[in-house]
Structure 1
Amino acid sequence: MIAALQPAASRPPTAPITSLRLFGPEDEPWIDELLDLVEQSLGEPWRVLLERIEDAALRRSPTQVAAILGALRRVTGGRDERARVARKLRGKVLGHPALDRDARDARIACAAAELGLEPADVEGLLWADLARERPVVLPRGRPAARTLVGFANVDRIQRCMRRASSIELRVWSESTALVRTGARCGLIVVVSRAGSHDGDGPTLLQVTGPLALFHATTVYGRALGALVPLLADHARFTLDIHGDFPGGPRTLRVEPPVLLPPVPLPRSKSPSLIERLARDLERAGCGVEREPPPIACGAHVLYPDAAVVHRGVRMLVEVIGFSTHAYLAEKRARYAAVGQPVVLCVDSTRAAPSSASDGGAKGKNEVTSAVLRFCRRIDAAALMTMIEGLPGQDCS
C-alpha cells in the first residue's frame, strides 16, 4: 500500500516554517487545577463542570482548555456505552404520563431492573448521550496531568494533518511500523532513505495530504492521523506539515521533545485485507510469505505486502488504498526497474477516476506487473489467474 509517487502538492520554497505549539510540562500546574474542578463535579452534568471552569479563571485561552477537556473525554471513554444506555432508558421510561409519584417511581424501578441499574441513577442517565448532560465520571481515577498533555498533543497534530496538502516525516530509527501502518490505512506515501548505507541517515516518508485529493478527504484525513501515536517510539524525528493555514501557506514543524502517550498495545481486530487474501490463497494451495523484505529502488524503498508462489511461480503482491493514475504508473515503473514482477491490488472505491490504465507495465521487454481491482475483498481466484498470465520468478 506504499505509494511510489511524489506528493501532489508540496511546500512552496518560500513558505515559512513555524514550530507547532504543543502542550508541555509548563502546562501541568493549570491542568491540575482543572482536574481539581473535575473531581469536585463528579456525578454532576458536564454543563455544571463547564460553568465552574468559566468561573475559575484558569488564565488559559478557551481553546487550550477545550483541548484538555477533549483529552479528558478521550481518556475516560464510555461514550458509546452511555449512548446505548440512554436510548434504552428513554424507550422504557418516557411515554404516556405518569400522573403520580408511585407510578413514576414504579416505571423508573422497572427500567432500572431490566438494564441492571440502580433506580437512583436512572434520571442522570436519561440524557447521558448529550455532551453537556452526561455525568462527569473518572472510571479509572484521576488521570495525571501529563497523560492529558499527551493526548491533547496527539489531537492537535492530527487536526493540523487533516488540513495538509503534503507531509514529510523523517525518522532516524526503525521505521517499519510507521510504513506498514501507512500501508494498512491506504495512505499515498513515498518511502526513501537519505545519507549513508550504514543506517546513519533518516528514513523519509512523503505523504500526500488530504487537501491534495479530490475525493474522500475526510476519510483520508482520519487515516493519516494513525501515524501520530507511533511517534512516541522515536527519540528523533522531524514532522513537517505543509498546508494553507490561517495566516497563509506555511509549514508547521513538530520535533522532540514532545510529550505523547505511550504507543498503544495492538488490539485484536478483524483480519486485514492481506490477511484474508493470504488465508484464501493458502486454502487454494499457494505458498504465501507475508511482509517480505523491503526492496531498494535507487533512493526509494518498495514495501510489498506479500510474495505468492503459485504453480512454481513467485509473484509479489501489494495492496493499494487511495491512488491516482500517475501514482499507479510510477509504482509499477519502480517495480519494473528492479526486475520484480508484481500485482497491484487496487481498492476501486478509493481510486480516483483517472486511475483507469490497468494494462501491463514492461521491464526488459516483458510485462512484469498488472492491476487487480477489488471492492472490500480481494478475489484470490482472480489473483491466481493473473499470476498465471505474468512472467513471475521461477521457483521450481
Structure 2
Amino acid sequence: MLPADVQSFRVVRGEIVPDWLTPADHPWLRDLLDLAEARVGGTAQELDDALANAEITRAPLRRLRMAKHVLRGLVERRPPERPLEPRAVREVVFGAATDVRSGGSWSREEALRRAGEVLRASVEEVERCLLLDLPGEKRVALSEPLPSPVELAARINLALVQGLLRRARTVRVVAHGNARDLVRHARLQGLLCVARRTGGTTTLEFSGPVALFRHTTLYGRAQASLLPRLPWCDRFELAASCVLGGAQATLRLGPADPAFPSTPPRRFDSALEEAFAKELARRHPDWGLVREPEAVEADGVLLFPDFALFRRDRPRERWMVEIVGFWTPEYLRTKLEHLGRAAGEGWIVCVDERLNCGTEGLPDGVSVVPFKRRLKASGVLEVVSGRAPLASRPPVSLGLTHFFVDWAGRKPPTDPVHARLASLRAGDPVTLVRRGPWVMVEAEDGPVAALSAKGRDHWAPRLGSVREARVAEVRVRQRSESGPAFRGRLRVDAWRVPVVEVDLEPQP
C-alpha cells in the first residue's frame, strides 16, 4: 500500500477521487519497467539511483512517484555471495590501518595489502568484501517476471486505495452473491466486523484503523488485504469514511474502478487454527472437529464460528468455537450479546489478548477463553466439560543460552534439518527428548535444535514435568554472530534457531 505522502487524489464535494492510472499511462510504465529490468543482477543502490533520477517522458509527476514506489516492492534484494565476512574484513583492515599509520597519515593500499595477508586473500577481494553487507550492495533479483504495464497500473491503483483505507474510520462493503470468500477472509484476518445478510446480499461493516487506539498499522494491513478479493464477488460496493488532515471524506469503490489485478487472490489459511486442529487430533482423539461450519444468524447479524466441536460418542451435541482476532472491549460485549441470543449450540469465544486495539483490558463479567500466541485445545475442552482448570504455571521460555545455537549451522546445506527449520512456524508443537548425552528439540518430522550443556543440565531432570512445548518464534542466525574461533566449523552462512516455550504440569 502507498504511504500518505505518495498518494495522489482529489476531494470533490466530500468524495475522494483517486488519481487512477489509465491506458494512457501504459507507454511510460513500459519505459519504467524496462529501466528496472535492466538493473536485475546489479546492486540495490544502482536500482534506487536509477529510479530516483529517472525522467520518464509523458509521465505525470505524482503518478510517476506512485509507480516508482510500487515497482521497488516488486523486486527482491538478495545478499550477494561473500567469500569473506565483511565485518571480519573491516576489523582486520582497521587494525592494519592503525599499524601502518605514521605521523597522522596512513597508506590505504598498504593497509589492504596487510589485511589480505592476514585473511589469505587478494587486495581486490578484501576491497570488494569490505562493505558487502550494506543494504545498497544487495543484488536485485526477480522471483517472478515483472508485470505488464496493464497489470502494473492495476497494482498501483490497488496500492493507492489500500493506502487510503489506512485513513478510514469506518468501512462498509455490500457484496452481492459469492461473498463467502470475502467473509471467510475477514474472519481469518481477525477484523472487527459485523456481517448481515438480506436475500443474496451480504453487508459487512468494519471499524477502520483510525477508530482504534492500538495495532493500527497491523490492522490496516489486514483490512487492506480484503480489497483484492472484492472483484470475486458477483457485484460489490465499498464506502469508507476517511479522515484526511482533520477533515472527513468518503471513498467509494465498485467493480468498474480500475483498482483490481486480474489474478485471483491466494487462499489465506490460519496457522493458529491448524495448530489447534492438530493438537485436538493428537491429544484428544475422542473429540471431533468440523472446520468452518455454516454461519449462524442472531438478531439479523451473521456469526461465523471457526470450529464445531463434538464428542465422537455424541456427535449431535456441538459446541461452536469462535476465535476473535482484533478486538476492543465494546466489540466483545456486543458480540457476546449476539451470541447469547443465538439458538442451538453453545458458544465458546477465544480471545487473543495481544490483539486488543482499545485502551482497556478484557471487560469484567464476560465469559471468554483468553490466550496468547497459541490456543490450547485442552483449555477449550475444560470449558466445554465445565471443569475448572488446575492452578496453572506460567509458560517458561528457553532462552538462547539454553541452546547449542551453532548446532544446525554445522550441518551441510543438504541436511534435512534445514528444510525442517524452514517449515517451522510459531505455535508448532515440539518435544524435548533425551538422546544419549544430548537433550534435543524435535518436531514431528525430526530434530530441529539441541540444548547446550547449560540447557541440558537444567532441563534433563525436568523432562518429566514438561506438559507441552511449542515454538515461540524462529530466529535467523548469521555466521558473523558466532565466535571467531568457531566459524571454521560452520557449513552454512545463515541458519534458523527456534525459541521454545514450555508449559509445565499444573500444580495440584
TM-score range, shorter chain: 0.7 to 0.9
Residues matched between the structures, number: 346
Partner of 2:191: 187
Deviations 1:20-66 (A, max 9, x none): 33323232112112223334555361244135414x444311x3223
Task: Specify the alignment match of 1:161 in structure 2.
Answer: 165
- The answer for the alignment partner of 2:351 in structure 1 is 346
Q: 1:140 to 1:189 in 2, by over 3 A?
A: closer
Q: Provide the residue aligned with 2:484 in structure 1.
A: none
Query: Structure 2 matches for 1:164-313, cutoff 5 A?
Result: 164-194=168-198, 197=199, 199=200, 202-234=201-233, 236-246=235-245, 248-257=247-256, 258-261=258-261, 262-266=263-267, 272-282=271-281, 283-284=283-284, 285-310=286-311, 312=314, 313=317
1:166 CA displacement: 1.0
* 2:377 aligned partner, one-letter code: A
Q: Does 1:60 align with 2:60?
A: yes
How many Å separate the matches in 2 of 1:280 and 1:181? 23
Indicate conservation of the 8 Å contact 1:325/1:357, yes or no: no
CA distance in 2, matches of 1:211, 1:180: 23
4+ aligned runs moved over 4 Å, structure 1 = 39-42, 84-89, 100-111, 119-125, 133-142
Cα 1:324–1:149, aligned 2, differ >3 Å: closer, same or farther? same
User: Are the counterparts in 1 of residues 86 and 131 from structure 2 also a CA contact under 8 Å?
Assistant: no
Q: By how many angstroms is 1:173 displaced?
A: 2.7
| Structure 2: distance between partners of 1:29 and 1:278 | 51
> How has the CA–CA distance of structure 1 residues 35 and 89 changed in structure 2, closer, same or farther, with 3 Å as cutoff?
farther
Q: Tell me the CA shift for residue 299 of structure 1.
A: 3.2
Q: How far did residue 129 of structure 1 move?
A: 1.8
Unaligned runs of 5+ in 1: 1-14, 112-118, 360-369, 391-396
- Structure 2 counterpart of 1:356, from 360, 363, 368: 363
1:311-330 → structure 2 map (5 Å cutoff)? 312=314, 313-330=317-334
The question of whether the paired residues in 1 share the 8 Å contact of 2:352 and 2:372 is answered with yes
> Hey, what's the Cα distance between the residues in 2 that align with 1:373 and 1:142?
44
Secondary structure of 1:223's match? helix
Conserved in 2, the CA contact under 8 Å of 1:240 and 1:252?
A: yes
- TM-score, structure 1 as length reference: 0.75
CA distance in 2, matches of 1:140, 1:107: 42
TM-aligned CA deviation for residue 272 of structure 1: 2.2
Displacement, 1:227?
1.0
Q: Report the AA paired with residue 297 of structure 1.
A: A
Is 1:38 matched up with 2:36? yes
Aligned mates of 2:29, 2:120 — CA distance in 1: 39
1:96 corresponding residue in structure 2 = 92
Q: Secondary structure at the match of 2:181?
A: helix
Q: Which amino acid aligns with 1:330?
A: T
Q: Deviations over 1:208-265 (max 9, x none)?
A: 0111111221221122122122234245322222121147201111222324231343
Distance 1:33 1:166 in 2: 39
User: Given that residues 166 and 207 in structure 1 are in contact (C-alpha distance below 8 angstroms), is that contact kept between their aligned partners in structure 2?
Assistant: yes
CA contact under 8 A between 1:31 and 1:145: conserved in structure 2?
Answer: yes
Distance change in 2, residues 1:121/1:358 (3 Å): farther
After TM superposition, give the deviation of residue 334 of structure 1 in Å.
Answer: 1.7
The offset of 1:153, in angstroms, is 2.3
Letter in 1 for 2:331: Y
Which residue of structure 1 aligns with residue 418 of structure 2?
none
Aligned 1:133-152 pairs, distance under 5 A: 134=138, 137-138=141-142, 140-152=144-156
Decide whether the 8 Å contact of 1:170 with 1:238 is kept in 2. Answer: yes
**Counterparts in 2 of 1:108 and 1:21: CA distance versus 1, 3 Å:** farther
2: distance between equivalents of 1:250 and 1:108?
Answer: 63
What is the CA-CA distance between 1:203 and the residue it aligns to? 1.5
Aligned AA (2:71):
L
Q: 1:389, CA displacement in angstroms?
A: 2.9
Give the whole-Å Cα distance in 2 for the aligned partners of 1:121 and 1:238. 58
Residue 376 of structure 1 aligns with an amino acid whose one-letter code is R
Instruction: Choose between structure 1 and 2: higher strand proportion.
Output: 2
Cα root mean square deviation, aligned: 3.5
Preserved CA contact (<8 Å) 2:310 2:318: yes
Alignment CA distance shift 1:40-1:378 (3 Å)? closer
User: What is the TM-score with the length of structure 2 in the denominator?
Assistant: 0.60
Distance 2:92 2:126 in 1: 21
Contact kept, 8 Å, 1:46 with 1:135, in 2: the verdict is: no
Unaligned runs of 5+ in 2: 1-12, 97-108, 388-508
SS at match of 2:73: helix
Tell me, in whole angstroms, the C-alpha distance in 1 between the residues paired with 2:253 and 2:321. 34
Q: What SS does structure 2 have at the residue aligned with 1:23? A: coil
Report the equivalent of 2:135: 129
Deviation, structure 1 residue 191:
0.8
Partners of 2:291 and 2:306 within 8 A in 1: yes
1:108·1:122 contact (CA, 8 Å) conserved in 2? no
Change (3 A) 1:148 1:121: farther
For the structure 1 residues 286 and 18, does the alpha-carbon distance in structure 2 shift closer, same or farther, using more than 3 Å as the test? same
Of all paired residues, the percent bearing the same amino acid is 27
Aligned residue for 2:172, secondary structure, equals strand
